[in-house]
Structures are given as structure tokens and as C-alpha cells.
Amino acid sequence: MTRLVVLVDSERADAYVNSVGYNLRSRAVSEVSFVHVHGFPGDERSRTPSDLSARILSLVIQRLEALAFRAEYVDDSGSVTVLDERNGAITSEAVKRFWSSANVRSISFRNDEIHYRDLRAFMRAVRRKDRDYLVDITGCRKRLIGDFVAMGLVDDLRDLRTFDVLRPVDFKRPWGSLLHELESQPTPEFEYIDLLDNRIIVECARAVVVRAPRFGLAWAFAVALAVAGLVLNWWFGLDSDTAKWVNVLAQFATFAALAFVFFPPRSV
């Protein structure tokens, strides 16, 4: 089962409805965690917890249930719009069928307020505890995205996703950008992108590994064994059992060091 970690940084619940709904419908999600990060260096407004994660959790559940059970869109002011063919691409019953497949009431929801200094440790704990997880940063501030990409490079964080709407957003009719409308088009008008799954990130990950101290130690060990093998060959001769074993170890260490170049691990 999958744990979905949603980073929240906005009071607008619409920023999270699509990504949460998409994952509930397409993955075997058992838990959704809404996480708000506070205490950014130099940001006085985020010095202390604000319970934003709890507010967003409540609003997202409210909106998902309104869509699934009543085919209603609830905006930030609490106004309700009934969704049907008059203001959308599909009927009210189709809207309810679409969102009811998210099965919101079977999911475990939680929220966390995390200080910025504890963010890396928190994400490492997620990675260790949950073999199948996904991190959604759709509603995350830009300055935090760099931190998550860095954790992907050096901490083996994976499945870092963002929900991109590929049509212009009509703020007078915001329900037009909901998932059921985007999927009802001949070509879906959204993408759910893994930010770590591209050529540049992979190349940067390889460069990080090559420059890492562990890689340097591997090369130093390989060179030391090779030198030891040469000395033992000269001292005892090629038929010495000791020299043969040192040569074997030196060759293995050399090949292992080369493997770090062509097949670098993501965790260093």
C-alpha cells in the first residue's frame, strides 16, 4: 500500500484536490499525510506552526466528499456550485461516479507541522518506513522545491511529483480545472510529473556520487591493493599464493570502483 505525502503551503484547497484525487483513484493509497513546513530561515511569517496542515486536511476531505456524494464544488468562501452538463462536460451522476472511486472514507488521513531544520530527517524516516510512498509538491513554495530535489540526489528520495494543468485556468469557473473535467477531454489536459525522472537529474546524481568521499575512498583502496600486488609479485614472485590473492582483490576493487561511475547508487 502507498503512503501519499502532500506538502502544503497555501490556504487554497483546490491546489491539492486534483493531486490527492488522482492518487486515490490510480494507486492503492492507504494513508495521506498533509505536511506543512515552518521555520524557514529569514521568513518571520513561518517561524511557528500555524495548523495549516490541519485546515487543508479538513477542507480537502470536505471537497472530495462534496464531489463524490453530491456532485458539488465548494469554493474557498463556502459557496456551492452543482456540477452538471450546464457548467461542465459530464452529468452530475458521472461526476459522483468519478469521485466516489477515490473512496475517501476508507483512507487514513493525518497532518504534520514540521520545522524546516527537521525536514530532511522527516523525509528520511518516510523513506525508511514506507517502501511504497509518493511525495506531492504541487502546492509547495518554490524555495522548498530545491530542497526536495537535493534530497532526491543525495538521500535517495524518489517519486517527487507535481500536478500540472495543461489548460488555462478560468478563475470565474474554477471547477473547470478539476480532475474529472481534465480527464474527460479526448487528450487529458494534465500531467502528473516525477521531477526526478529526467536526464539532467540522473546525470547530476552520477556527478554527486563521483565527487562523494566514499567514491574517493573506493579508488584509493583499489590503487593501494594494486600497488600491494605489484610489490608482492616483485618480492615473492608470481607463483606466490599471497600475491595471487592480493591481485584478485585488487582487480575486484578496481571493477567495483568503475561500477560507481557507470551505475551510481542514488544514496551516498
DSSP string, 143-191: HHHHHHHHHHHHB----EEEEEE-S---TTSGGGGSHHHHHTSSS-SEE
| Beta strands 29-38; 108-115: pairing state | parallel
Class of residue 168 by CB neighbours under 10 A (exposed 0-12, middle 13-18, buried 19+): exposed
Mean pLDDT for all residues in the chain: 83
237, burial (CB in 10 Å: exposed 0-12, middle 13-18, buried 19+): exposed
pLDDT band at 201 (very low <50, low <70, confident <90, very high): low
pLDDT at 253: 60
Containing 248, the helix (H) or strand (E) segment is helix 241-262
Model pLDDT for residues 55-89, shown as the tens digit of each residue: 999 999 999 999 999 999 999 888 999 999 888 88
Q: What is the DSSP letter of 132?
A: S
β partners of residue 3: 31, 133
Q: 268 falls in which pLDDT band (50, 70, 90)?
A: very low
Domain ranges of the chain: 2-197, 202-262
pLDDT at site 245: 60
C-alpha cell at 83: 456540477
Q: Which residue is listed with cell 571493477?
A: 255
Cross-strand pairs, 193? 162
At 23 the three-state DSSP class reads helix
Average pLDDT over residues 23-51: 88
Measure the CA–CA gap between 259 and 155, rounded to whole angstroms.
19
Instruction: Name the pTM for this structure.
Output: 0.76
Q: What are phi and psi of 203, to 5 degrees?
A: -65, -40
Q: What's the whole-number mean pLDDT along residues 213-240?
A: 61
Q: Give every strand in the sheet of 29-38, ordered side by side.
A: 108-115, 29-38, 2-8, 133-139, 160-165, 190-194
**CA nearest 35: which of 24, 45, 20, 18?**
20
Cα–Cα distance between 244 and 250 in angstroms, integer? Answer: 10
pLDDT digits (tens, 9 = 90+) for 105-145: 899 999 999 999 999 999 999 998 887 999 999 988 888 88
